Amino acid sequence: MIISAGENITSADIAYVFNQGKIRVEFPEPPPPPDIDFVKAGFIQYISKQGGVSDAIAPLVNGVCHYTGAAYDMYKDRIHIKPKLIELGFVVNPSQTEFEVWSTYTTPLTLSNIEKTGRKGLVLSGPQPGQILPAYGGHWDYILDVSLDVEMNIDALFEWQFNNGTVKTTLNVLGTRVALWPYPPIYPVTEEWQWFTAVIETRASEQRLSNADKPLQHIEYRYNLPTLAAAEQNARYESQGTNMHAVPIWADATPPVTVKADDLVIYTDVSSRSFSDGGMAVLYKNERDYEVAFIDKVNVDNLLLKRPLMYDYKNVIVLPAITARAPDGVKSVRRGARTEHQISWVNSQPLLIEPPSSRNNTDFDTEYLGKPVIVQRGKSGGVSDDMAFTWREKTTSSGHHIIDIDRDYGRHATNVELIAEGRKQAWQLKQFIYQFKGRLNACWWVSYHRQIRIAALCNRKRIVIKRVGLVEFGGRHLYLNWHDGVQMVYAKSLGYDNDGNEVIDLGGDDDREVTPSDLLGGHIMRLMRPADDKVKITHQPRQLLSVSMPMIEVPDGSH
């Protein structure tokens, strides 16, 4: 019998052992790693991610620093798991994760036990107790099967115990169980953003400070269902209400797509929708046929996924989804044979909307002195322009009731309703109102309550207008819509002319003659800010979006 043992092993190195008619070939153990010389080094410092900075510092000997063995000692005679931590993220679908266990011991190890903690819904497939892990880099492949029967907060620990527990290694598994809420709502859908701004007011001005860079997002879904379907929806929430939910954003649905199992890319129109890197996408056929995919990167015309799809789908829509909870539960009212449901979801993560890459490409691109200008109107029933001072009441120790002015300035207030039609404009409107960050940032509001009209022949530098009361204020910011374009300018009052008209100095050197027909419309602009940290957004069918914002004037010097 001829036995080939490899080109580097001679016959003199091989031992033949005869036992009960069988031949066992024994090879010698490989020698330990040789010392490694580091030339022209003052010291060696080994850094480990697990143990920090080691104390393996070797002194110089004749200008040569010899290897002390610390790095090798940390590597050899150990059981390694790759990876040591499996982060499942949000668990919505069954999944599988592969990992390996391998050894740097110089002797084989016998697996005595695998101790499992918090393993509900998690199944290990691979070598089991009693099997032997070979020496010198022997490794085992494992698969972790994740079902939907896991705990809401997954924190599992698997410990491999070799040689009766003398050698151990652990694997940690983390994640969160999320249940999908697969029911499309009826319109209108109400969305609310909650910011947190501190406003410090003095007698003459105010200061605003942001306590949150991103808002909390609330989405209210309503349903009008037959009683049997409503009971099924209630039962689903009762069984899954303790979990976080994956809630689709139905207003951002894509056109139908067709995908296959194992696809890593979904090609669809993702523009002007709330898909995000690291977020979720729902492939939705109906309330019983769907799949949740996890997004790695949002590209111009596709979604790159973290894991391949599990099933084939034809003509399904793709929806962005958020992880949310419903602290108030499902509110239900039965009316005859039908039941109305209302459920308010609170996003578990602060909302992030990226600003437009270029403001010139949006329908909300008007700016003046570095701040946006609100020109458009949504209400057909009129726009308010209220004005009031702030008073305070107090009672003295002697019983006198006193009413005193609290601040030296009065404030105009209004309620602005902004409307967008179409997906692109609706997304731009969201980007526009996001920049206010609640009550933090101000804008210019064009008040239509005082119409500026040319009263007599004049020029563009100095105009004569019919009386609107600008003289009392010395100067005002004006929005002037000329026949050849819009002019936004700070105008100073020069008093009255002989006919009682107001004379306004616009500055500059434009001396072109102006007639009453040249000015199509002129209005006062006021510096305003939102009066509330809550922004209410209403979604209507066919991508109609409306935003209602109460606004209040910012005192002079409090930009």
- Of the listed ranges 233-237, 380-384, 484-488, the least confidently predicted one is 380-384
Rg (CA), the chain: 36
The residues facing 367 across adjacent strands are: 372
User: What percentage of residues in the chain have a pLDDT greater than 90?
Assistant: 57
- Of the listed ranges 11-15, 50-54, 300-304, the least confidently predicted one is 50-54
pLDDT for the residue numbered 103:
92
pLDDT at 389 over 80: no
Long-range interactions of 48-53: CB distance < 8 A, separation 24+: 48/74
**What is the residue type of 299?**
N
pLDDT at 479 over 70: yes
Q: What is the mean pLDDT of residues 116-136?
A: 92
Pair of tokens at residue 206:
């105010």
At 26, the pLDDT band (50, 70, 90 cuts) reads low
CB distance 510 to 528 below 8 Å: no
d(CA 71, CA 195): 51
- Of the listed ranges 120-134, 198-212, 517-531, the least confidently predicted one is 198-212
pLDDT for the residue numbered 361:
58
Place of tokens 């056109």: 255
d(CA 267, CA 276): 15
Kindly tell me the burial class for residue 472, based on how many C-beta atoms sit within 10 Å of its own C-beta (0-12, 13-18, 19 or more).
exposed
pLDDT at 360 over 80: no
Q: What is the mean pLDDT of residues 151-163?
A: 90
d(CA 105, CA 520): 88
**Which of the two residues, 202 and 149, has the higher pLDDT score?**
149
d(CA 98, CA 368): 57
Q: What is the mean pLDDT of residues 76-90?
A: 88
pLDDT for the residue numbered 53:
44
At 399, the pLDDT band (50, 70, 90 cuts) reads confident
Q: Which domains does the chain have, with CATH numbers?
A: 11-75 (no CATH), 79-180 (2.60.40.10), 186-347 (no CATH), 351-559 (no CATH)
Count CB neighbours of 59 within 10 A.
10
360 in helix, strand or coil?
Answer: helix
Residue-by-residue DSSP string for 42-104: S----EETTTEE----PPEETTEEEP-SHHHHHHSS-EEEESSEEEEEEE-S-EEEEEEEEE-
Pair of tokens at residue 271:
């523009």
Kindly tell me the burial class for residue 551, based on how many C-beta atoms sit within 10 Å of its own C-beta (0-12, 13-18, 19 or more).
buried
pLDDT for the residue numbered 151:
85
Instruction: Give me the half-sphere count of Cα atoms (radius 13 Å) on the Cβ side of residue 80.
Output: 16
d(CA 98, CA 274): 31
CB distance 38 to 65 below 8 Å: yes
pLDDT averaged over every residue in the chain = 84
State pTM to two decimals.
Answer: 0.72
144 in helix, strand or coil?
Answer: strand
Residue 359 DSSP class = G
